[in-house]
Chains A and B, each alone.
Chain A
Amino acid sequence: MPTNSMSYGGAKVLHAPDDQALVDRFAAVPSEALRGDSKRIMIDPDKVGRDLARLVLSVIDLLTDLMERQAVRRVENNVLSDDEIERLGQTFIALQARMVELKTAFGLENEDLSLTLGSLRDLISDSE
C-alpha cells in the first residue's frame, strides 16, 4: 500500500511511487473533468477587454497549432517546395511574434490561453 497521499482522494490511491516528487507530478496534472467546468469562458463586465482578448487569442493559438500540424504533415509528405516551406515557416514565426506582443499588451500568460474550447480542442487530439 502507498505511504504517500495526494491532495485529492488520498484514500483512492492503491499504489503510488515512493518518490513524493513523482506523486506531486501526478497530482499536478489537472483533472479533465474539473477543467471542463471551471475553465469555461467567463466574461467579467469589469474586465471585458482582457477577457475578450483572452478568448480571441485562445482561438488563434488553437488554429495556429492546427495549421502547424497540417504544415508538418505536408512537409513530411513532400508536397511543398523549398520556397514554400521557407515562406510557411516565416509566416509561423511572424505569427508567434505577433502573439507574444498581443499577450504582453493584454497581460496574458500562456496558461491563460488554455481555455476549454469544447470540441474545438478535440481537433488537436484527433490530429495527433
Chain B
Amino acid sequence: MTFYVYAITDRPQEPLPSQLGRDDAELEQIAWRDIGAVISTSGGSRSAATSDDLWRHEEVVEALMAGRAVLPARFGTSLPSHRAVSEMLSQSYTRFVQDLERVRGHIEIGIRFLATAERQSTDSSPVRDALDAAAAQSENSAPPHVASNGFDRSGLGPGTAYLQAKVTKQRFSRDRRRVGLGMVQKLCAALVSQATVSRLDAEPADRHGISAAFLVPRDRLASFQAIVGRIADAHPELALLCTGPWPPYSFVTANATEPATKRSSNGHAH
C-alpha cells in the first residue's frame, strides 16, 4: 500500500473537497501544526499512468486551491506510509510555510514558444533575423577553408567528418537556444512586470522550444492575458501557446519526497 500525495496546503482544519482522488479513492489529510498533506491510499501495483490520471491529480489540486494556499506535489509522488508523510511535513515544515506564503493568492501561467525560426513566412522579423544570424555565425566564423570548429575541410577522413558534423550541429543548437532565450526574454519583459516571480527555460534540444512560467496574482490574470495577446499580435512569426491558470507547480522549492538536505525545483510541463 502506498500513499499518493496531491499537495501540501495551509488551513488543514478546513474540510476536504468532495472530489475523489486517483483510482476514485477518497481524499485524506495528514496535518502537522498549521499545514497538511492531502493524500489518497493506493493499493498495490497499478498499471501505467494515463492522461486521465494526470487530470485527476490536477482536479484535486484545483479543488483544494478554492479554499487554501496550495503547494502542488509533482504528479506521481507517493510515500510508503502515514508516518513517512508526517515526517516529510515535519522535516520540511519551514520551507513549506515559506513557499505557501509566497504562492498564496497566486496562480501559475505557462507560455511555450515553439520553433520560432520555422514559421513559413517571407517577412523579416527581429526574432527570425537574430536566429538566422546565430546560424550564420555558427557556420561562418572561420576562414573559408576551415570550418567553424577548426577542421580543415580538405581531405577529411570519415571519422573526422562525423565529428565535424556533430560539432556543427551542437554549436548551431547552442547558439540558437541562446539567441532564442535572449529574444523571448526581451519579449517577456512586459509580462514579468505583471508577475511576482517568473522563470524562463530552454526545453530539451529535441524539442527546440522555450518555456516560461509566471506566478501571477489572481486579480492580474486578465491584464496578463491581454499582454500575451498583444505580444502574439506583434510577433506573428512566434508560435506561442499560453495556458493556465495552473497551480504553482514551477514555484515550489520544497519537494515532497526529498529529504530536507536536498532540494530542487518541482517540474511540471504545461
Using a CB–CB distance below 8 Å, which chain A residues touch chain B?
Answer: 8-9, 12-17, 19, 22-23, 25-26, 29, 31-34, 36-38, 40, 42, 68-69, 71-72, 75-76, 78, 82, 85-93, 124-125, 128
Contact of A72 among B53, B160, B163, B232 (CB under 8 A): B163
Would you give 22 A-B contacts (Cβ < 8 Å), ordered by A? A8-B51, A9-B58, A12-B243, A12-B245, A14-B242, A15-B240, A16-B241, A16-B242, A17-B241, A19-B239, A23-B241, A26-B114, A32-B267, A34-B51, A36-B75, A37-B75, A75-B163, A89-B162, A90-B157, A90-B158, A90-B162, A125-B204
Q: Give min CB distance, B84 to chain A, whole Å.
A: 19
**Chain B residues positioned under 8 Å from A19 (CB to CB):** 239
Contact of B76 among A9, A13, A17, A37 (CB under 8 A): A37
Q: Is B75 within 8 A of A34, CB to CB?
A: yes
Q: What's the least CB distance linking B27 to chain A, in Å?
A: 20
- Minimal beta-carbon separation of A13 from chain B (angstroms): 6
B242 touches A33 (CB 8 A): no
Contact B244 A12 (CB under 8 A): yes
- The count of residues in chain B whose C-beta lies closer than 8 Å to any C-beta of chain A is 51
In the complex, chain B residues 131-162 whose Cβ is within 8 Å of any chain A Cβ: 149-150, 157-162
The answer on a CB contact under 8 Å between A86 and B49 is no
Q: How far is the CA of A75 from the CA of B209 in the complex (A)?
A: 27
- Interface of A: prevailing SS: helix
The reply to whether B174 and A76 form a contact with Cβ atoms under 8 Å apart is no
Query: Which B residues have a C-beta under 8 Å from some C-beta of A?
Result: 48-51, 53-55, 58, 74-76, 109, 112, 114-115, 149-150, 157-163, 166-167, 170-171, 173-174, 177, 203-205, 207, 209, 225, 228-229, 232, 239-246, 267-269
CB contacts (< 8 Å) of B166 on chain A: these are 68, 71-72
Q: Is the interface of B mostly helix, strand, loop or mixed?
A: mixed
Interface contact B240-A17, CB-CB below 8 Å: yes
Most A-side CB within 10 Å, residue of B48, B159, B161: B159
Give every chain B residue within 8 A of A23 (Cβ-Cβ).
241
A87 neighbours in B (Cβ, 8 Å): 159
User: Given contacts A12-B243, A25-B239, A87-B159, is CB(A33)–CB(B74) below 8 Å?
Assistant: yes
A90, B163: Cα distance in complex, Å = 9
